[in-house]
A and B are shown apart, each in its own frame.
Chain A
């Protein structure tokens, strides 16, 4: 009995439909977010902040985006990398063209641009389903990569084709560019993640989310009872692309600083975000975070363990890292095919009943 739910009742519908109806849950989440705000800012090393925490936050946003599309609406998409590239390029163009614009507005605009692009590439989804749709979205991936590589206007005519984010401030605090303090970047990312995650949670709990889940589960039946599949799917593509675009913009602005879009947001990036949501749990907000953390942290931890713990050569460690990473994926999928978030859910349920078995 990790906590008692007895004696808790909701007098109003409004309180009953809260995001965290049980007060203990709410307190834990709020406390966790506060902990995440304070502890890393003061105690985490620069390496932890720049190479682990910020990427996890950024990938969480991308994973949430893809989860909305694939986990909640059932449309498999492999164009995530291309859409992140759209977000990054939009962010770059907006901030270089309008230097006085607040970075938050720039992020918002980048997301909106990506949402528009996602809308266009979501049109085939009316006719095509399943793995065919996934491979069709690859067309978006490769086309967008080629476009940003080829058309020099997107890169502001730099000869190398690399986008470099200029230093920008957020209410007087430098957050982009190499001079920005790691914990400032981290806090900014955390803020964006909290806002977007809250928005996503509320979207999926509302009529829009339910429409998506209806389409995912049985789209013909859903159409029969009145859902409009085309509009619903297009909305899913746009909202998902908004999130992915914001993630791409953040990746350029706060994490990498400089990207070559064809290399940083290539097909492997698309696969990586897909792995995150599958391992984390399709159709689960918590799953997006867990998946992002798993995919970012596991290779680094494995390599560090092998190189510094066991003293292996860097290259041998890399080979073993591949083997163990693949093995871990298979292991987690066998143990819980619905993702690590489901494992957590089961654990929580068991804890609520503990010490009773059922």
Chain B
């Protein structure tokens, strides 16, 4: 081998072998540590980026405006997973040593991985509006929280909305509803509930799976043309959403009868379709687009100082607000743990306790700066909260989402028994004794 090649080879080997395996150096005692398992790369990056920006900006806001939570500064670190489960597990192992206040995996796949692990490592796992729905049964899953609401509850709310639009739940009989879903654990979540409700209310359910990443959906929409359902519900993510909206428009499916779930209703999904997406609806559990006191604070303390993670005009977007909400809940729990236990940096168990007794009232929301958000009550046995759902509609010319319904209550009587059955099965398979929540 020539000398240059040898040198290059030696240099490459040396660099590879000498890099530190050991990881983040967050070791200061009086700091609250938060880590985000985000994805700014990969096929779902357009949706993951505003989320990640929301995470970062809220921490920045708390540090800049309040000097931290009760004066204790918050340190936030990102770990890029690319929506890949294995990388997610590696990220988790890397950061768990720093005593994160909560873990937010941002992916249903990674969530399933982490559910048994967080019990051992004593870190609360909070998956807002995704993850394992039956994790709401707090007696079996003490370390797992999925408030404010879950996929199964969402499905019931959607059916309720459709029923209302048709003139009453009894009018659903004989109607045709199609569910276009991402062919993964996430997409399939709503199916059992939709099937149970189909039996209950008598509508004809068609299930249409779309493989990752969902760019080629011609066959799916040909089938919809054949079946001519009255309503289409979509559980998509990433490029599947925008492709579906375009295909729906191409076959002339009425947009106002097309409802996406809360992960299929963001600006990234509707903007590529342009004017064709006008009238598209989606579910959500929070309002968006409007200027709230929180937004004013974010502009003043974060973006005006040049510390914002994304663009200043994107802070009204649906997914950005969801990112904010995640960390709002996280830091609220930390604050309550601090107050309740009188410590500066709560341990995992203390934060868990705060999450389990989380009761957000209208006054709390006003304090945070998001007036109009409804009450959330987490209890020992119910880690979901059973938050109602809103329907929003996209206005393509104004390029905004507007809420077009009231808070639609979820059908707890349908969902809760299913959750408990699934949780009991998990407990049996994994030798878990449910706690006594009485």
Indicate, yes or no, whether A interacts with B.
Answer: yes
Bound Cα distance A153, B134 (Å)? 20
Interface residues of A in 120-173 (CB under 8 A from B): 149, 156, 158-162, 164, 166-167
Bound Cα distance A259, B189 (Å)? 16
- Interface magnitude class on chain A: 35 or more
| Most chain B beta carbons < 10 A, residue from A260, A298, A300 | A260
The residue from A158, A304, A314, A317 contacting B19, defined by CB atoms under 8 A apart: A304
Determine how close the nearest CB of chain A comes to the CB of B80; give it in whole angstroms. 4
Contact: A309 with B19, CB < 8 Å?
A: yes
**Cβ-based interface call for B335 (8 A):** no
Interface residues of B in 45-81 (CB under 8 A from A): 77-80
Contact: A257 with B113, CB < 8 Å?
A: yes
Interface residues of A in 299-342 (CB under 8 A from B): 300-305, 308-309, 313-315, 317-319, 328, 331, 335
Contact: A166 with B94, CB < 8 Å?
A: no
Determine how close the nearest CB of chain A comes to the CB of B45; give it in whole angstroms. 9
Question: Which residues does chain A contribute within 8 Å of B185, judged by CB atoms?
Answer: 160-162, 260, 263
Interface residues of A in 16-55 (CB under 8 A from B): 45-48, 50-52, 55
For B417-432 the 0/1 string (1 means CB < 8 A from A) is 0000010011001110
Bound Cα distance A47, B25 (Å)? 14
Q: How many residues of B contact A (CB 8 A)?
A: 55
Bound Cα distance A180, B163 (Å)? 49
Contact: A258 with B20, CB < 8 Å?
A: no
SS class, residues of chain A in contact with chain B:
helix
Bound Cα distance A302, B12 (Å)? 12
Contact: B184 with A315, CB < 8 Å?
A: no
Determine how close the nearest CB of chain B comes to the CB of A163; give it in whole angstroms. 9
**Cβ-based interface call for A96 (8 A):** yes
Contact: B12 with A300, CB < 8 Å?
A: no
Nearest to A264 among chain B residues (CB) is B85
A positions within 8 Å CB-CB of B:
45-48, 50-52, 55, 96, 149, 156, 158-162, 164, 166-167, 177-179, 255-260, 262-264, 297-298, 300-305, 308-309, 313-315, 317-319, 328, 331, 335
- Chain A binder among B116-124, B298-306, B315-323, B381-389: B116-124
For B85-118 the 0/1 string (1 means CB < 8 A from A) is 1100110011001000000000011001101110
Bound Cα distance A46, B425 (Å)? 30
Q: A256-B85, A309-B20 are in contact. Are A160 and B183 (CB under 8 A)?
A: no
Nearest to B116 among chain A residues (CB) is A178
Nearest to A266 among chain B residues (CB) is B212
Determine how close the nearest CB of chain B comes to the CB of A150; give it in whole angstroms. 8
A-B contact list, 5 entries, CB within 8 Å: A48-B21, A167-B431, A256-B113, A260-B85, A335-B9
Q: A159-B191, A166-B430, A315-B40 are in contact. Are A257 and B21 (CB under 8 A)?
A: no
Contact: A51 with B184, CB < 8 Å?
A: no
Bound Cα distance A258, B429 (Å)? 13
Bound Cα distance A179, B25 (Å)? 26
Q: Which 9 A-B pairs have the closest CB atoms?
A: A178-B116, A315-B40, A314-B78, A314-B80, A160-B185, A305-B19, A51-B90, A51-B93, A318-B80
Q: A51-B94, A256-B89, A258-B113 are in contact. Are A159 and B188 (CB under 8 A)?
A: yes
Question: Which residues does chain A contribute within 8 Å of B9, judged by CB atoms?
Answer: 335
Contact: B90 with A167, CB < 8 Å?
A: no
Nearest to B186 among chain A residues (CB) is A160
Contact: A331 with B12, CB < 8 Å?
A: yes
Question: Which residues does chain A contribute within 8 Å of B212, judged by CB atoms?
Answer: 262-263
**Cβ-based interface call for B5 (8 A):** yes
Question: Which residues does chain A contribute within 8 Å of B90, judged by CB atoms?
Answer: 51, 300
Question: Which residues does chain B contribute within 8 Å of A313, judged by CB atoms?
Answer: 78
Bound Cα distance A308, B22 (Å)? 9
Contact: B40 with A304, CB < 8 Å?
A: no
